Amino acid sequence: MQTRLEHLDEVYGFKQYPDTKSRGWLGVLESWGAVRQRMLKRMNRLRNAVEHDGADPPSPDECEDYREVVWWFLKATAPLLEPIEDFDFAWGKARGSCDISYNPLGIRLWGHFTPEQISDSPRDGWIEVQATPAVHLKNQGEMTPIFDADRGLYYLCAKSTDWVSVQRFFRVALEIIG
């Protein structure tokens, strides 16, 4: 279990998440909906007591129960070892692509959006992004959004700006891969 947690930390860099100090790695995974930590914490305390404090080990029957818990933990966290790093999307008339980096956590997206899908002021439930120069060959280097009159869409390249939006987006990505 500890080895899996260490591998997940290499991928996601748990220390970058604000709630890591108070909740620990298992708490972060629980907040993502990946695991439930109650039994896992109990197992960790038992392991520490046996390994470091000389406590008696659990009975063979209890060991079988713990083995099953570990099996379910490994199964539940296996998809997290190969996270989605990029994907294409369609949202109404919008079409685009998205890159996700996990350590450090960030998102970058680009594509064509309707005027209703872009706002220059904060909106509830929306992810806040900062426009960046175009990566499209025709407009490469030009600051976005760029209006495409032929399509009636804006071409936008952007990156994440605030932690709350990135975490909200990240949770949706985890639901997709989980």
Is the pLDDT at 11 greater than 90, yes or no? yes
- Averaged pLDDT, 12-28: 92
Note the pLDDT tens digit of each residue in 50-108.
Answer: 999 999 999 999 999 999 999 999 999 999 999 889 989 898 899 999 998 988 888 99
**CB 4 within 8 Å of CB 74:** yes
Lowest mean per-residue pLDDT among 5-14, 67-76, 167-176: 167-176
Check residue 162 and give its pLDDT: 81
Q: Structural domain tally of the chain?
A: 2
Same domain, yes or no: 100 and 163: yes
Q: How far apart are CA 34 and CA 28, in angstroms?
A: 9
Choose the final residue of a domain: 34, 50, 81.
81
Query: Residue 84: which of 134, 27, 2, 12 has the closest Cα?
Result: 12
Same domain, yes or no: 32 and 63: yes
Same domain, yes or no: 142 and 167: yes
pTM for this structure? Answer: 0.79
Domain that holds residue 73: 2-81
- CB atoms near residue 8 (< 10 Å): 20
Choose the final residue of a domain: 47, 81, 115.
81
Check residue 25 and give its pLDDT: 95
Query: Residue 108: which of 169, 178, 164 has the closest Cα?
Result: 169
Note the pLDDT tens digit of each residue in 112-163.
Answer: 999 999 998 888 878 888 999 987 767 788 888 999 888 899 999 999 888 8
Same domain, yes or no: 65 and 19: yes
Q: How far apart are CA 34 and CA 73, in angstroms?
A: 9
Lowest mean per-residue pLDDT among 37-46, 101-110, 132-141, 167-176: 167-176
Query: Residue 86: which of 105, 108, 103 has the closest Cα?
Result: 108
Residues contacting residue 142 through CB under 8 Å, at least 6 positions apart? 133, 134
Check residue 13 and give its pLDDT: 94
Give the chain's radius of gyration (CA, Å).
22
Check residue 43 and give its pLDDT: 93
Per-residue pLDDT band at 178 (split at 50, 70, 90): low
